[in-house]
Amino acid sequence: MIGIGRLTTLLMFLIPLVQPSVIVQAGQWESTRIIRPDQHARTGPARYPYREKVDYIFRELDLRPGDVVVDIGAGDGWWSERMVPFVGREGTIHAAEVDEDKVKAMKKKFADVPQIKPYLCKTDNVLLPEDSCDLAFFSQSYHHLARNGQVDYLKQLHKVVKPTGRLCVIEKNPTISTRVKAHGTYLSELIQQAEAAGWVTLRTELMPGTYHYLAIFAQRELFPPEPKESSGNGKNTADQPITHTQDSLELVGKRLANGTALLLDVREQDEWDAGHLSQATLVPLSVLREQDNSDAYAEQLAKRISKEKILYCHCRSGSRVLVAAPILKKLGYDIRPLKAGYGDLLKAGFPKAK
């Protein structure tokens, strides 16, 4: 006989075989044209009406086998449970909760579902390693974050989510809610907070009949500087995309030691303060972006960093350096971005500042 828990798990793994066709049909494109005055009227159940849009939401998220998700404010694990078929046997769902009783209940409920890992997090920290998640997911829980602490929380998630990972927020929009206590977040407020924390809006949509929106964000470091305009001869004057250097870390170390190269850290001030390499010089990417066309800043930077030496640069995970490199190259530096991040360089033996 197969136990109920094992049977449930087995069925979860069989669902992906038929699920995609259902999702595609559920998420068909619709025009925003208003056909009827009551087109956006609130429908569905009194609680969690957006759960009826689950197929559409998962189509938008496009979760894949092996993905790692942190479900923030997981509650009873409703969303975590439905993510399992998409992340597969190799995936992980960190079901984060600040309520210890809910964590205990989820551990009991999902004892036979190894992908779901309920745990107790803090109100201001998900307590997960850097670059460990493909998706940070809020379902009607974002408004529970501490007032005036949302930006710091999203900055912390910026580190936890992988460079190509995303942030997803499902919230009620108080702008259209008719209830006194909306238990939601104004979309404009969410976008402002997300942008202040280094996230860029990829998509925002009101889910018809719910008064809830779906907002998906990516990390700002994914977006390199815009290419230069055509010179008029039919050729684009933009430089070829810069890739990570092929120089080995051993060679990098030797050049830093003999003085033929310098090391630049393009992370932000708070990351530098939390720990940095003794051979590095801090030039935050945010400052480079802001001062990109400033002649005064270029002169100031030239006084600090010699253009006669090879300039290696690193960030946290090898993503931001590809954004910083074109800016530094334009200023005349022999810039060579490292794929290895701060943690990788520490493991490779590069000394940490005391």
What's residue 81's pLDDT? 97
Is 138 in contact with 50 (CB distance < 8 Å)? Answer: no
pLDDT value for 19 = 39
Q: How many Cβ atoms are within 10 Å of 191's Cβ, its own excluded? A: 18
The predicted-structure confidence for 194-238, as pLDDT tens digits, reads as follows 999 999 999 999 988 888 999 999 998 888 766 666 555 544 444
How high is the pLDDT of residue 29? 64
Same domain, residue pair 260 and 196: no
The H or E element containing residue 286 is: helix 285-290
More confident residue, 13 or 144: 144
Position 161 in a domain: yes
Q: What pLDDT shows up at residue 265?
A: 97
Task: Indicate whether 353 belongs to any domain.
Answer: no
Q: What is the mean pLDDT of residues 98-117?
A: 97
261 and 127 belong to one structural domain: no
Do 291 and 163 reside in the same domain of the chain? no
Residues 215 and 265 in one domain: no
Q: Is residue 1 part of a domain?
A: no
Tell me the CA distances in angstroms from 74 to 215, 226, 239, one per residue in order: 18, 39, 46
Question: Per-residue confidence at 131, pLDDT binned at 50, 70, 90?
Answer: confident
Residue type, 178: T
Instruction: Report the pLDDT averaged over residues 97-118.
Output: 98
* Mean pLDDT for the stretch of residues 120-135: 94
Q: Which run of H or of E encompasses 165?
A: strand 161-172
Mean pLDDT in the chain?
87
What integer pLDDT is reported at residue 163 of this predicted model?
85
Asked if residue 20 has pLDDT above 70, the reply is no
Shared-domain flag, residues 205 and 337: no
Per the structure, the complete domain to which residue 321 belongs is given by 249-347
Q: What is the CATH number of the domain that holds 190?
A: 3.40.50.150
Least confident among 58-62, 124-128, 229-233, 274-278: 229-233
Same domain, 76 and 172: yes
Q: What is the pLDDT of residue 240?
A: 66
pLDDT in tens, 292-345: 888 999 999 999 999 999 999 999 989 899 989 999 999 999 999 999 999 999
Confidence at residue 27, expressed as pLDDT on a 0 to 100 scale: 45
Residues 214 and 323 in one domain: no
N-term to C-term CA, the chain: 61
3-class SS string, the chain? CCCHHHHHHHHHHHHHHCHHHHHHHHCCCCCCCCCCCCCCCCCCCCCCHHHHHHHHHHHHHCCCCCCEEEEECCCCCHHHHHHHHHHCCCCEEEEEECCHHHHHHHHHHCCCCCCEEEEECECCECCCCCCCEEEEEEECCHHHCCCCCHHHHHHHHHHHEEEEEEEEEEEECCCCCCCCCCCCCCHHHHHHHHHHCCEEEEEEEEECCCCEEEEEEEEHHHCCCCCCCECCCCCECCCCCCCCCCCCHHHHHHHHHHCCEEEEECCCHHHHHHCCECCEEECCHHHHHHCCCCHHHHHHHHHHCCCCCEEEEECCCCCCHHHHHHHHHHCCCEEEECCCCHHHHHHCCCCECC
220 vs 199: CA distance, rounded Å:
5
pLDDT tier at 242 (50, 70, 90 boundaries)? confident
- Which of 222, 257, 274 marks a domain boundary? 222
User: Looking at residue 293, what is its pLDDT?
Assistant: 82
User: What per-residue confidence (pLDDT) applies to 241?
Assistant: 72
Residue 136, pLDDT > 90, answer yes
Supply the pLDDT for residue 4. Answer: 45
Confidence of residue 8 (pLDDT cuts 50, 70, 90): very low
Helices vs. strands in the chain: H and E counts, helices first: 13, 11
Strand order through the sheet with 199-207: 116-120, 92-97, 68-72, 133-139, 161-172, 212-219, 199-207
Of the residues 207, 222, 237, the one at which a domain ends: 222
Whether 234 is covered by a domain: the verdict is: no
pLDDT at residue 17, as a whole number: 38
pLDDT at 305: 94
- Please state the rounded mean pLDDT for residues 264-288: 94
Residues 142 and 265 in one domain: no
Stretch among 6-15, 63-72, 161-170 having the lowest mean pLDDT: 6-15
Percent of the chain with pLDDT over 90: 67
Could you tell me the CATH number of the domain that includes residue 266? 3.40.250.10
For residue 159, tell me if it sits in a domain.
yes
Taking 90 as the threshold, does the pLDDT of residue 10 lie above it? Answer: no
**What residues does 281 pair with on adjacent strands?**
264
Both 254 and 216 in one domain: the answer is no
Considering only CA atoms, which of 303, 331, 311, 236 is closest in space to residue 266?
311
In a domain, 238, yes or no: no
56-78 pLDDT, tens digit each: 999 999 999 999 999 999 999 99
Clarify whether residues 218 and 253 are in a common domain: no
What is the pTM assigned to this prediction?
0.74
200: β partners = 218
Backbone φ/ψ region at 176: left (φ over 0), alpha (ψ -120 to 50), beta: alpha
Flag the least confident range among 25-29, 148-152, 156-160: 25-29
Whether 67 is in a domain gets the answer yes
* 23-54 pLDDT tens trace: 333 345 677 888 888 888 888 787 888 999 99
pLDDT (average), residues 243-256: 95
Q: 282 and 318 share a domain?
A: yes
